[in-house]
Amino acid sequence: MICVYVIEYEKQQNLKKMGAKDSKLLSKNQRETLYPKLKKIAADIKIKHLSPAEIDELRKSFSLNIIEQQIMLKLTKEVKQELEAVYIDAADVNEKRFGLVFEKEFPKAKIVSKHKADEFFPVVSAASIIAKVERDREIESLNLKMSEDIGSGYPADPKTKSFLTKYYSQHKKFPPFVRESWETAKKLKKEFANSKLIDYFSK
């Protein structure tokens, strides 16, 4: 889930006053409370959610960093207003390199490409909150669809790993909302192939 959040320069201070900060530092309720407020004062919001199949296809040719960079760039170019500044959460070990394509596309704008930008710039914090709320809602929808708690969907979540293990054990494949190119999925698949996981769940 990638979000581009646009706000008029004079309204940026409102984001701080509202409590916008890195979405990971906010509770779910805090994010949900901020969500409509952030949407209300935005000049524009662009959101893109690639399907697992789309990501798997793109991963055949590009790294996740490049995919994320190009989606960010595409969404930013869709903004109709002239942009004075673009703040980017750099998904690259070299934050300067990550921002170069934006400098070429927006030569008149100030380009700031930084690691953990959502911790430093309220406008990026706002984008991270919008994206996180949208993602959480999708996970909730999947919970209902599967009639099961699939966890957060993050690799460190034991609930998610347990769900994937159980599902793969029963169906010999992952559900359609799981990326085959995801390292967690690839690792589990390899473990099954090597018979390191016993099929407890099919009994």
Residue 198 lies in a domain: no
pLDDT tens digits, one per residue of 14-68: 998 998 999 999 999 999 999 999 999 999 999 999 888 899 899 999 999 999 9
CATH number for 8 = 3.30.420.10
Question: Within this chain, do residues 130 and 158 fall inside the same structural domain, yes or no?
Answer: no
Question: Within this chain, do residues 130 and 162 fall inside the same structural domain, yes or no?
Answer: no
Question: Within this chain, do residues 154 and 124 fall inside the same structural domain, yes or no?
Answer: no
pLDDT surpasses 50 at 201: no
Residue 62: which domain range? 2-139
Question: What predicted TM-score, i.e. pTM, was given to this entire model?
Answer: 0.85
Question: Within this chain, do residues 133 and 161 fall inside the same structural domain, yes or no?
Answer: no
pLDDT surpasses 50 at 200: no
CA distance 73 to 86: 10
| Mean pLDDT calculated for residue range 162-178 | 89
Question: Within this chain, do residues 131 and 46 fall inside the same structural domain, yes or no?
Answer: yes
Question: Within this chain, do residues 178 and 160 fall inside the same structural domain, yes or no?
Answer: yes
Question: Within this chain, do residues 153 and 131 fall inside the same structural domain, yes or no?
Answer: no
CATH number for 177 = 1.10.10.460
Residue 57 lies in a domain: yes
Tally of structural domains, the chain: 2
**Last residue of a domain, which of 117, 139, 161?**
139
CA distance 31 to 38: 10
pLDDT tens digits, one per residue of 121-169: 999 999 999 999 999 999 999 999 989 899 988 888 899 989 988 888 8
Residue 203 lies in a domain: no
